[in-house]
Structure 1
Amino acid sequence: MKFGNLENLYYFILPIIILIIMAYGMVKRNKILKTLRIQRSKKSYLLKIIFIILGSCLICVALLSPEKLLEEKDVQVEGNNIYVLMDTSSSMLAEDVYPNRIELGKRIIKNIFKEIKGDKIGIIPFSDSAYIQMPLTEDYSIGENYINAIDTNLISGGGTKIIDALKIANDSFEEIKAEKKVVLIVSDGGEREKDVIDFVKNNKITVYSIGVGTNKGEVIPDYKNGKRNGFVKNNKGSIVVSKLNNSFLKELSKISEGKYYEANNLNDNSEKFISDIKNIHKDKLDNEKITIYKKYYQYFLLLGMIFLFLGYFLNRRLKYEE
């Protein structure tokens, strides 16, 4: 027999407090009866104290969750290793979606973290370069803090080099010897790059992608020192209009047997990624030891309630007799 919730030991202070109060009440009661020269049996009151204290102690034991080990076994934990590749290029500031592309992308990733179960997820922001911001983990609770920290100033340059992020993700997959390599690219697209396509094919990476933005596009706000300072211009001095370039993302997802989704104010099917990822082959992630216990708290709780009831009933009877 062992206890599963030893942190509840402090509850045993309650029976001690009750005992002190009732003992003080008994002494005071006896003094009053002695002053009035009334004889009353002390055994009934003492029995009432015993019942109430015993009942309180049994309930406190129930709160400790007494249990007995029945079985221990090793279970194979299955899931996917998934890296989210988040585009932090300057074009992600375009406001053709609300409030802008990068904030919508962050909201999508947060929703994925809330809904996904059993998989290991990591985050790799990319622009002119890339790095692992959050390594592969099953602790989704820490993910929101990392996602909140993502912005277009995270990586200098402002370009869109997916290849760097893919290489970093692949190195991580190789290090843990992942059977299946899955990445989710959240981006407004980019120009077709043959080396990216070849790298995905050669390393057997399954690419899911979410295109954030619209085909109509929008100008890109230019921020300096946190303040909006007009719009981004090209070398000729003309204001740049950034459009969703989904053709490359679609091609990348198709050739790697992944899927493409789109997210904007009028159409957002990114939530389908959750259901789609559940249907692909799962890796064997870890061996986990499962322990099975039989719980006995209910017996102590029942006995405790019975003794408290008897103490309460005896208390009522003593008052009636007096």
Structure 2
Amino acid sequence: MKFGNLENLIYFIFPIFMMVILIMGLKKKNRGLKLLNLSNNKKISHLKIFFISIGTVLVCISLLSPEKFLEEQNVERKGNSIYVLIDTSRSMLTKDVYPNRIEGAKRVTKEIIKNLKGDKIGIIPFSDSAYIQMPLTDDYTIAENYINVIDTNLITGGGTNIYEGLVIANNSFNEIESDNKIVLVISDGGDYDKKVLDFIKDNKIVVYTVGIGTSKGAVIPDNQTTGFIKDEKGNVVVSQLNSDFLKEMSNNSKGKYYEVNNLQNNTLEFLTEINSLEKNNIKNEKLAIYKKYYQIFLGFGLIFILLGYFLKGRVKYEE
């Protein structure tokens, strides 16, 4: 037999404290003990204290949730494994999405995580390079915490290297032998890169893309100055959403394209889409089955307390 709630051990202080009070009160014939019907007969009084104390101890034991192991069952969990690639390049500081693109991307990702049901999710930020910030997990609380710390200073360089992010995600999928390789790319698109399209096709990755920004675009704030980022000729750079490249990525891989700006956000359709896919066996768990015995201890505890209280005999109490 084992106990499932050992943190409740602290409650054993009550029967110990009560026994001390009862014994001290009995010696002094404290009027406050009248509620317990203590008798002039020491044997009866001691018996009442014994029953009430034992009953209280049994009730406290019930709070520890005594249980006995019966068997172990295999539980199969099904779901999809999804890597979210989040663009952290400098252009994600553009404010054509409130308050800026990077915060909009984080907001979208957290909305998706909150609505996942059994799927595993991993996070790969990318800029000039990429890395796995969080491996595939079904702990959505931890995932949201990782999302909160993402910003454009996470990776040096400031470019948009979607290719490296896809390579890292694909390698991770291969390690776990995943049947469905699902990637969600959240980006403003960056520059057209044919090797990205070839890699997606060759490795049979299903890519869903979220274009964040507007076709009109806006200037990119420079974190190191109070101005804006300029090109080599000294002209202020205007960053525009490259939706065509993102659409081509998703269309060539049986995925879909979604768009986020201040007027629209249809990314929750992504959840409907992945829920329609065939679920893979992503986790086999062993579930321990226990038989609970707290009811027995609780029942006998209450019986002992009632027996102790209703034992006959009263005492004359000092005024």
TM-score by length of 1: 0.87
Residue 225 of structure 2 is aligned to residue 240 of structure 1: no
Residue 140 of structure 2 is aligned to residue 143 of structure 1: no
CA distance in 2, matches of 1:309, 1:320: 22
Kept in 2: contact 1:210–1:262 (CA 8 A)? yes
Partner in structure 1 of residue 266 of structure 2: 269
CA distance in 2, matches of 1:47, 1:7: 31
Structure 1 residues 273-282 or 173-182, which shifts more? 273-282
CA distance in 1, matches of 2:161, 2:315: 85
Secondary structure at 2:223 match in 1: strand
Residue 59 of structure 2 is aligned to residue 23 of structure 1: no
**Cα 1:294/1:43, change in 2 over 3 Å:** same
Kept in 1: contact 2:66–2:292 (CA 8 A)? yes
CA distance in 2, matches of 1:115, 1:54: 49
Residue 194 of structure 2 is aligned to residue 190 of structure 1: no
- Fraction of identical pairs, as percent: 60
Residue 181 of structure 2 is aligned to residue 181 of structure 1: yes
CA distance in 2, matches of 1:90, 1:171: 26
CA root-mean-square deviation:
2.5
Partner in structure 2 of residue 210 of structure 1: 210
Structure 1 residues 180-189 or 282-291, which shifts more? 282-291
Shift of 1:124: 1.0
CA distance in 2, matches of 1:54, 1:82: 55
CA distance in 2, matches of 1:303, 1:210: 62
**Cα 1:302/1:275, change in 2 over 3 Å:** farther
Kept in 2: contact 1:44–1:318 (CA 8 A)? no
CA distance in 2, matches of 1:319, 1:95: 83
Structure 1 residues 90-99 or 189-198, which shifts more? 189-198
Partner in structure 2 of residue 308 of structure 1: 305
Partner in structure 2 of residue 82 of structure 1: 82
CA distance in 2, matches of 1:12, 1:253: 62
1:177-234 deviation digits (Å, cap 9, x = unpaired)? 212111111111133322111111110111112111122221111110xxx4211122
CA distance in 1, matches of 2:48, 2:213: 74
Kept in 2: contact 1:76–1:286 (CA 8 A)? yes
Structure 1 residues 150-159 or 161-170, which shifts more? 150-159
Kept in 2: contact 1:45–1:318 (CA 8 A)? no
Secondary structure at 1:141 match in 2: helix
1:116-167 deviation digits (Å, cap 9, x = unpaired)? 2322222111111111122222333322332222211222221111111101
Structure 1: stretches of 5+ with no match in the other structure:
31-38
Shift of 1:319: 7.0
Q: Which residue, 291, 306, 317 being the options, matches 1:294?
A: 291
Kept in 1: contact 2:40–2:314 (CA 8 A)? no
**Cα 1:51/1:279, change in 2 over 3 Å:** farther
Partner in structure 2 of residue 36 of structure 1: none
CA distance in 1, matches of 2:300, 2:114: 42
Partner in structure 1 of residue 166 of structure 2: 166
Q: Number of aligned residue pairs: give it.
A: 311
**Cα 1:302/1:221, change in 2 over 3 Å:** same
Shift of 1:60: 1.1
Q: Which amino acid aligns with 2:59?
A: I
